[in-house]
Amino acid sequence: MLSRWLEKEACGKQLYGYLAGFVVAGFLWDVIAAEILYLLGIDFSSLSKTEKNIPMLTLTFPLVLIAGALLEEVLFRLPLAFAVHMGWSVNNILAGAFVLSILFGALHGGAPHILVQGGSGFLYSLLFLKCGGYQRKYLKALATASTAHFLHNGMIVIALIAGGETVF
């Protein structure tokens, strides 16, 4: 069923719909996952504060967000392009996306981050595959996933600024 969905590449208005939908879904996932951690007694917000050291209210900060999103997408989505190129089955590609998402989350700060960033990372793996990656249009897929990642990070920054934060 998922392979059928991936076979039809998102193009035109549909691509923008997927882009917007996945950005919102990723942001909501982050909020819900952080709340689940809080309910389990794990204060995710305090874990995240230890890594914050980049001032948000500067002219260069958007460039940091763009560069960070692009770098992370290259590192964690391009292996999926290799899997597609090598002819892996959809199930194996998705298993690879799952493993990459665990690594993505863990590298953001440990086990609690696997649930938060790992979950949204898996969504962006699906977006990468749907918007060209599965059809071997890797540059388009990378551009779409990077844009989604940048917009997602931007939404988080806006929420943080609205809550009185000044560093990311």
pLDDT at position 45, please? 63
Residue 57 burial (CB < 10 Å; 0-12/13-18/19+)?
exposed
pLDDT at position 160, please? 83
Among 110, 97, 139, 96, CA closest to 46: 110
pLDDT at position 50, please? 47
Please, are residues 76 and 100 in contact by the beta-carbon 8 Å criterion? yes
Low-confidence ranges of the chain (pLDDT < 50): 47, 50
pLDDT at position 52, please? 57
pLDDT at position 53, please? 64
pLDDT at position 141, please? 98
pLDDT at position 22, please? 97
Q: Given the structure tokens 């001032």, which residue do they identify?
A: 55
pLDDT at position 168, please? 66
